[in-house]
Amino acid sequence: MKSEMMRDFDALAATLRRIVKDRPILFFVLAGNYGDSLIREGSERFFKHYGFVYSICDLRPVYRGKVSVAEVIASTGFRFPVAVFNGGGALNAHYRQGVRIAEIARQFDRSVILPSTIALDLREIDLPDSATIFVRDRFESQAAVPDAQFCHDMAFFLGCTDFGLPVGHGAGRLFRRDKERADGTRRVWPNLDISKRGNAMAPVDGFLRKIASFQEVYTDRLHVGIAAALLGRETHLYSNDYFKIRAIYHSSIQGNFPCVAYHDSFDPSVIPSMSFWRTIF
């Protein structure tokens, strides 16, 4: 990891330490796809690296009413934990995750949302004043919460890892097939939307191994692009349907990962073909 990026993570750790003090962290992992497992894994490695005491909680059973927050706290044995959410792209009008974060944050005296994209009016979700938000881009998200501290997406903390995966072959078309896709990408076929093949609690190994199998990666999935960058693959990262990828590219990727090229517009004719069989695990 570049020293400048590590300094930002050092600063994040210092701020989190001032908030947490000697209290444990209850780390809430939001419902998410395979790419979000990089955020979860990066966050856990961050906690371990800086010596934070934490317990992890998959938020899906809480959302579904199968367990209460009080029961989750009791199961950890922690007294007065600080709620920390894994952040990412949850604070977006596309999803209800922001409302759920706010509902849970109100049950704690202190809460923290790790580096996130801010793509909604936070007043709409009634986030408590005691919540601290970090932003993961220096542009629209920083403008939405001017007092928020910037740090890189937590997936970048995996940059200190030697993945030890072999060099890949051919081109991977790894475009999204959901509501965040940009105009035109639906014409890409064959295509593997690998992020749909797992969730935020899944081990990252399978996700990384599939991406590593390609020599070149073409994607509008942020964490596919981050994984490919960390693996040193030639990466072509395309904008999705809002500012997220562009803003994070200019905040964290540009200048740190020369293997990544960002494209603000999409031209399917320049994307190399990919065998249909390579879309199958």
Contact 229, 253 (CB under 8 A): yes
Give the per-residue pLDDT at 236.
Answer: 97
Q: Kindly report, as residue ranges, where domains of CATH 3.40.50 are found in the chain.
A: 3-158
**pLDDT tens digits, 82-126:** 999 999 999 998 878 899 999 999 999 999 999 999 999 999 999
Query: 160 pLDDT exceeds 70?
Result: no
Would you call the peptide bond into 24 cis, given omega within 30 degrees of 0 as the criterion? no
Query: 48 pLDDT exceeds 80?
Result: yes
Lookup: tokens for 58:
């998959």
Lookup: tokens for 179:
């509501």
Nearest to 76 by CA among 31, 19, 23, 154: 23
Q: Which amino acid is at 48?
A: K
CATH architecture of 3-158: 3-Layer(aba) Sandwich (3.40)
Give the per-residue pLDDT at 280.
Answer: 72
Query: 16 pLDDT exceeds 80?
Result: yes
**pLDDT tens digits, 53-88:** 999 999 999 988 999 999 999 999 999 999 999 999
Rounded mean pLDDT of 222-235?
96
CA distance 158 to 85: 18
Q: Report pTM.
A: 0.95
pLDDT band of 281, cuts 50, 70, 90: low
CA distance 117 to 136: 6
Contact 235, 261 (CB under 8 A): yes
Query: 150 pLDDT exceeds 80?
Result: yes
Name the phi and psi angles at 191, rounded to 5: -150, 145
Give the per-residue pLDDT at 148.
Answer: 98
Sign of CA dihedral 129, 134, 135, 138: positive
Q: Strand ranges (DSSP E) for the chain?
A: 25-29, 54-58, 82-85, 111-116, 131-135, 149-150, 171-173, 216-219, 234-238, 260-263
Query: 263 pLDDT exceeds 80?
Result: yes
